Amino acid sequence: MKQGKVSIEFKILPDGHIQGLKYGSSSGDQALDRAAYGGIADSNPFSPLPTEFKGSYLALRFNFFYYPQASDPKAPDETSSLNPRPPINLAHSSDGVVPPKVLFAPSPQYTKRARLAKEEGTVVLSVLVNERGQAKEIKVMKSLSEDLDKKAIEVVKKKWAFKPATKDGKAVAATMQVEVAFKLD
């Protein structure tokens, strides 16, 4: 439950690769700084930039806020309305909690490779559904293949709709598992 703020600066090249990754500011805690830096470094490469982007790179600064105070003037806007507690893990605590629900779940797209291989099955994902019903942190619990896992994450993050969990009638962040089925027609 350490508190701190870390700023990381970097460039994303048109092909999605990271360049010039560096600290903009430190939290003063090496563990927090390394976690923030590693979160970006481990994401290399990002998705390629849109073809409409005509620059040579996109410069970004990510600010990481570890357990920010609502009164912190530099905290992200959304933290002022959120309680900085960890999300509810429904596997461990369900006292008074109504779990999140999937409201809309379109099918994922197949990759060319998986279609030619006639690959079918189910990817199981762990999904953090935030207070607004958005899928945030997504982890693969049961994999099919790297490309289909990516398609499963993509469809859940961009197209699925969720009703957030509630505790005592108030929306809360909670983790749930979902299954994304890949079935050829």
List b or e across 72-109, with b for residues whose CB sees 16 or more CB atoms inside 10 angstroms.
eeebeeeeeebeeeebbebeeeeeeebebebeebeebe
Q: How confident is the prediction for the chain on average, in pLDDT?
A: 83
Taking the C-alpha atoms of residue 120 and residue 185, their distance in angstroms, rounded to an integer, is 10
**Which helix or strand (DSSP H or E) is residue 155 part of?**
helix 146-158
More confident residue, 1 or 41: 41
Same domain, 145 and 65: no
Element (DSSP H or E) covering residue 35: helix 30-41
Kindly report the three-state secondary structure assignment for every residue of 88-116: EECCCCCCCEECCEEEECCCCCCCHHHHH
Distance, in Å, from the CA atom of 84 to the CA atom of 82, rounded to the nearest integer, reads 6
> Rounded mean pLDDT of 56-70?
82
Instruction: Fill in the DSSP letter of residue 80.
Output: G
pLDDT at 135: 93
Report CA 145 to chain centroid distance, whole Å.
Answer: 20
> Which of 81, 112, 133 is at the close of a domain?
81
Range name among 28-37, 75-84, 165-174 with the lowest pLDDT average:
75-84
Task: Pick the more confident residue, 66 or 80.
Answer: 66
Which pLDDT does position 79 carry in this prediction?
39
Residues 64 and 138 in one domain: no
Domain residues for 24? Answer: 4-81
Total number of domains in the chain:
2
Same domain, 37 and 115: no
Q: Are residues 16 and 38 in the same domain?
A: yes
Cα radius of gyration rounded to whole Å, the chain: 19
Choice among 22-31, 85-94, 139-148, 151-160 with the minimum mean pLDDT: 85-94
Cis peptide preceding 87, ω within 30 of 0: no
Across 9-38, average pLDDT:
90
Average pLDDT over residues 10-19: 92
Residue where a domain terminates, one of 81, 111, 131: 81
**pLDDT tens figures, 134-147:** 998 999 999 999 99
The pTM of the full predicted model, rounded to 2 decimals, is 0.51
- pLDDT, tens digit, for every residue of 79-117? 333 334 455 555 444 567 788 999 888 889 999 999 999
CATH number for position 105? 3.30.2420.10
The structure tokens listed for 107 are 């099918």
Q: In what order do the strands lie in the sheet with 165-167?
A: 97-98, 165-167, 170-172
Which residue is it, tokens 């909670």? 174
